[in-house]
Structure 1
Amino acid sequence: MDSAKKLIEKYYFWLQDKTFLKDFGEWTEITTPFLDRHNDYIQIYLKKEGDEYILSDDGYTINDLISSGCVLDSPKRRKLIDLTLNGFAIKKDDKNCLFVRSNFDTLHIKKHCLIQSILAINDLFYLAKAHVSSLFFEDVKNWLDMSDIRSTENVIFKGKSGFDRKFDFVIPKSKNANERILKVVNNFNKNSADLFIVEWLDTKDIRPNKANAYILANDNEEELSPQVIDALRNYEINTIPWSKRDSHVEMLRV
C-alpha cells in the first residue's frame, strides 16, 4: 500500500518537473513529458476566456495522422474516434482541433483527459498500414462476444487521485473468479505500459472486490517486448498476446 502511494507521488512529481510552459500572446504552450508516435513531447495549448479556460491540441493530432496516410473518414473509424473522445469528454471542431473547456477547479483533470485522448488517437496511426484489415479494438470486442466472455466495454472508474480512469472492458466478478479489468493495446511499448501501471495502481485498491488486470496486446506485426511484459508483471498486470488469446478463453469466461 505504502509503495503504491509512493509510486503515485513520484509520478505526480515527475509530471510536474517535466512540464514546461511558454507564452504565445493569449495562448500558453504546455509541453508535457508524454511522447507521441514520433517520440516528440506532446504539446497542448491553454487560453483563458472570461471565467473559462480552453485547452486544445491546435489540430495537430488528427491532422498529423491524416498527413501520414491514416484514413479516418470511414464510418467505422469516425465512430471509433468519437467513442474515444467521448470517453474522455473531449470535443473536436471542424478543423480537427481536439479541445475541452474548463473552469479553474477542474483544469488539472481536463488537462489529463486531453492528454489521454491525444495518446489514444495517436494509436490510430497503426491503422494506416495496409495489412491491418480491421480495427484491433473491434477485433477484441468480437472475439469476446464469440468466445461467450461476458463483459462491459468503456467503463470509467474514479481513482484514488480523483481522476477518471477509463478501461476498455470489465469482466464482472463471479463465484469462481475476481473482477477482471482488460486493457486493449494496439501499440505495446514502455509508454503504454507506464500509463496503464499508473491507472491500475490508482484504481485497484478502491474496487469493492479484489480485481485482476490484463493487457490484451496486438502482436500481429512484431513480438511483444519481454522487458515491458516483465515490468507489467511486477505490478501484477498480466499480458495476453493477441496470437495466444484462445488459450485464455476459459480463464476469462468463468
Structure 2
Amino acid sequence: MSDVENLIDNYYSWLKDKTVWKKIDKWAEITTPYIDHNNDYIQIYLKQTPDGYFLTDDGDTISNLREEGCKLETPKRKAILKSTLNGYGVNEENDKLQVKANERNFALKKHSLIQAILAVNDMFFLAESHITSLFFEDVRKWLDISEIRYSEQVSFIGHSGYARKFDFLISKSTSAYERMIKTINNPNRHSADSIIVDWVDTRDIRPEKSKAYALINDQSRNVSSSIIEALDSYDIKPVLWSERENVQVELAA
C-alpha cells in the first residue's frame, strides 16, 4: 500500500473513531472530531425523509458568527458565502446550512456539509471590529493587482470520491505548471490537516508536476512552525501573507 493510501485510510479511521451520535426525537445529533474557531466540536443533525436524508447545522455556524459581531449582510460577503457553499453543493436557508442525501451519496453529502461549515468558519471567524476585509478578499485583490490569472472556488473529485475544493487555480502556461492555492485564515492543526488531505487525495489525478500553495494569514498572529513543517512535508508550499511577494513571480508565470 502506498503512502497516499495509508494516509487516506488512517484519516478515515480517525474520522470514524472520533465521530459520535445520539438520538433526539426524529433527529440524530452527530458530533464530529472537527473543531470550530471557538474550539468546540462541530455538530450536525440528521433526519430521515421519505426520499432520503436531510442534514443541517441547524443554523449554528452563521448564528455563532453573528453573535461574535461578524456581519454577513454586505453584498460582497453574501457573494463570498454563496460561492463558498456552492463549491461544496451546500444550500443556505434562514441561516441554516443544509444538504439532502440518499443512501448512495450520503457519505459525500455529509462530508461536503462539514467541509462547508469549516470553510465558512475559517473565512468569517473574526469580528468586524478586528478586520477591515476578509482574508479571501485580500488574497483575491492581491492576485488581481499582481496580474496573476486564476479561477476561484474550483472543486475536483479525489481518489476517495469526495469533492476537494481549492480557493484558486492557476492554469498551466508555457513557462509553468498548474498551481493550486488554499487560503488559511485561521492557522491551526485542523486547517493544516484539512488542506493536506485535500491535496494528497487530489494530486495524483491532476496534471503531472502540479503544485499546491497554502497562503497563511499571519497579520495578527504568530504561525506555529509545526504547521509550516506539516504542509511542507506533503509538498504544499506554505507562504506567510507577510512574505507573499516572494512567490509573486512564480504564480504570475
After TM superposition, the score normalised by the length of structure 1 is 0.96
Show the counterpart of 1:32: 32
* Alignment correspondent of 1:176: 175
Letter in 1 for 2:195: F
Q: In the alignment, does 2:154 pair up with 1:151?
A: no
Q: Percent identity?
A: 50
Partner in structure 2 of residue 44 of structure 1: 44
Is residue 197 of structure 1 aligned with residue 196 of structure 2?
yes
Distance across 2 between alignment mates of 1:15 and 1:32: 8
Runs of 4+, deviation exceeding 3 Å: 124-127
- Encode CA deviations 1:8-38: one digit per residue, 9 max, x unaligned: 0000111111111101111001111111112
1:176 to partner: Cα distance = 2.4
Quote how far apart the aligned CAs of 1:143 are: 1.0
Alpha-carbon deviation of 1:221?
A: 0.4
Distance in 1, Cα, partners of 2:56 & 2:192? 25
Q: CA deviation at 1:129?
A: 4.5
Read off the aligned partner of 2:181 and give its amino acid letter: L
Alignment of 1:1-254 (within 5 A): 2-94=2-94, 96-254=95-253
Hey, what's the Cα distance between the residues in 2 that align with 1:72 and 1:93?
14
- One-letter amino acid of the counterpart of residue 146, structure 1: I
Distance 1:126 1:15 in 2: 24
Q: Render the CA deviation track for 1:31-56: whole Å, top value 9, x for unaligned.
A: 11111112111110100111220001
Number of aligned pairs? 253
* C-alpha displacement of 1:125: 4.1
How far residue 218 of structure 1 moved from its aligned partner, in angstroms, is: 0.9
Paired residue type of 1:41: Y
Residues 150, 168 of structure 2: 8 Å contact kept: yes
Encode CA deviations 1:141-194: one digit per residue, 9 max, x unaligned.
111111111211111111011111110111112232221111111111111000
Report the alpha carbon displacement of residue 208 of structure 1 after superposing the two structures with TM.
2.6
Q: Residue by residue, what CA displacement relative to the aligned partner does 1:56-91 show, whole Å, maximum 9, x if unpaired?
A: 111111101111111111111111111111111111
Is the 8 Å Cα contact of residues 27 and 47 (structure 2) preserved in structure 1?
A: yes
The CA deviation at 1:127 is 3.6
For residues 64 and 151 of structure 2, the distance between their equivalents in structure 1, rounded to whole angstroms, comes to 32
Structure 2 unmatched ranges of 5 or more: none
Moved more, 19-28 or 167-176: 167-176
| 8 A contact 2:65–2:125 mirrored in 1 | no
Query: For structure 1, which segment, 57-66 or 69-78, has the greater mean C-alpha deviation from structure 2 after superposition?
Result: 69-78
What 5-or-longer segments of structure 1 have no aligned partner?
A: none
* Alpha-carbon distance in structure 1 between the residues aligned to 2:38 and 2:149: 37
2:154 is aligned with what amino acid? V
- SS at the partner of 1:161? coil
Query: What TM-score does the superposition give when structure 2 sets the normalisation length?
Result: 0.96
